[in-house]
Amino acid sequence: MKTTSLLHLYLHLNLIIYIEALTGSCVLIPCSFHIPPEWDEYLEETVKGIWKRGFKGGETVFDSSVSGQENQIQGHITGDLLQKNCTTVLYYVKPEWVDHLFFRVEGLNSLRYSFDPPVYITVKDSPAKPQITPEKVRVKEGDTVSLSCSAPAPCPILPPTLTWTPRLNDSVSVTELQEKEDKTKYVSSVLNFTASYLHHNKEMSCSAVYSLQVDSSEKTSQNSFILDVQYPPKNTFVSVSPAGSLLEGHSVTLNCSSKANPAVKNYSWYIVTESGNKTVGSGQELIFNVSRDGGQYYCGAQNEHGTENSAMVVLHCVTVLNMVNTVVSEHDFFCSDPPRISPPWSCNRTAAEISCCCESRGNPSPTIEWRLSDQVLANSTDRVVVEERLGTTGLRSSITMRQKQGDTHVLFCLSRNPLGSFGVHVYIPPSESDSGKARHICVFCHEEHQISILCNITIFILLW
């Protein structure tokens, strides 16, 4: 006959001492026991497992030898007691189950023993949050990222379903029910994706949905974190202010904006010249007084991961019509100017023809027409009118006429655009038959409501 002290040396229980269960679900209790080898013969088909509440001699809440409503707690020993496996699943978990449970094995023979330690069952109304690894993610754009989400499955017959949001055009691998070293169960899901700057600051969430035995209802838990994606400057652009019309010689501010992580460290400003691109400033803003020549400007943004240049802004002059701090990609900003005919305007006469030239500038680009006695002179068999564009704001017009136009002394050059008009009378030199005559050379310049007349008297003196 073995003494009690010897039995304590050989009889022991392998058991998790703390298990968290979910109200309305089932709970798995991993369990195995050990007895002296010579007692193995007492493990017969009639052996049963018993769970007692509170203390070793406490109330029996489950007996594997009975079924149905005879047990206070419904359950099933899934392990094989003949193999010393006392793993048990208890069904329909209730909040009042919170207590210590002691396992006892009994046979029709002398094998009757209550084991230590007990398992402590705690009951939660909400499931635990799933675990995401790694807990913090800092990656570079273009890196391949793998995230793992795992959630406990205290009820192995109703494991939770895991869902990632957002999906990010990813590849998701969901594993089956798995077992930890302590014999408890869990499920896991792996999310694989390629990091993009569009993912930066996105909240990634993993949700675990638990189906309950009671009422076929569900309970959900969720865990989330913020993605930190490092990337070079993106969407770099230039905005122009102030609002409204800008006048030549007045101040204009160009602002460079860009998205980057980490934030942009250096901003640079460039102007495009015939000899190449030239650096004209640094910092997020470029402030200067606009000249008539304007220029083509762009900015560059830089951080530790790279550089990006904006599209070009073309400033011909300083008027932004109907635009308020407008963001531009490649745009022209023009002066609003009525036309101006620039001297010298002139005519030449030969024996066969008369040639005259007139040049005007304005914005929008002006038109030029030639007139003789209020008649518009167009191309014909006796006249040729040729026009040449001078950049975006200028026009040069020349007219050539045959001498049969007769005694023509003055042509009228008229230039127009939507903002106004400007005209000059152009004097034609006299023919040889007119030499020796006094001639009044007058130029009439009229601009909308203003007329200017400049007159000189030319006297030809013949010497013998």
Residue 392 confidence (pLDDT) above 70: yes
d(CA 194, CA 199): 10
Residue 123 confidence (pLDDT) above 90: yes
Q: What is the mean pLDDT of residues 249-270?
A: 94
Q: What is the mean pLDDT of residues 405-432?
A: 81
Residue 231 confidence (pLDDT) above 70: yes
At 243 the pLDDT is 52
Average pLDDT of the chain, as a whole number: 82
177-203: pLDDT as tens digits: 899 988 899 999 999 999 999 999 999
d(CA 170, CA 140): 17
Residue 369 confidence (pLDDT) above 80: yes
Q: Which residue has the higher pLDDT, 330 or 398?
A: 398
At 223 the pLDDT is 96
Residue 324 confidence (pLDDT) above 80: no
The CA-based dihedral angle spanning residues 272, 278, 283, 286, taken in that order and rounded to the nearest 10 degrees: -50
At 352 the pLDDT is 82
- Residue range(s) occupied by CATH 2.60.40.10 in the chain: 4-124, 131-226, 236-333, 337-458
> Where does 337-458 sit in CATH, by number?
2.60.40.10
d(CA 192, CA 92): 37
| DSSP at 245 | B
Q: What is the mean pLDDT of residues 236-244?
A: 78
Residue 404 confidence (pLDDT) above 90: no
At 434 the pLDDT is 53
d(CA 393, CA 26): 84
CATH superfamily of 236-333: Immunoglobulins (2.60.40.10)
- Residue 411: pLDDT band by 50, 70, 90 thresholds? confident
Q: What is the mean pLDDT of residues 326-335?
A: 43
Residue 292 confidence (pLDDT) above 80: no
> Where does 131-226 sit in CATH, by number?
2.60.40.10
Other beta carbons within 10 Å of 439: 16
Q: What is the mean pLDDT of residues 373-393?
A: 87
Q: What sign does the CA torsion over 93, 97, 102, 108 have?
A: negative
- Asked whether the beta carbons of 427 and 347 are under 8 A apart, the reply is yes
- Asked whether the beta carbons of 217 and 24 are under 8 A apart, the reply is yes
- Asked whether the beta carbons of 458 and 409 are under 8 A apart, the reply is no
- Residue 19: pLDDT band by 50, 70, 90 thresholds? very high
May I ask the CATH class of domain 4-124?
A: mainly beta
At 107 the pLDDT is 84
65-116: pLDDT as tens digits: 988 788 999 999 999 999 999 999 999 999 988 899 999 998 878 788 889 8
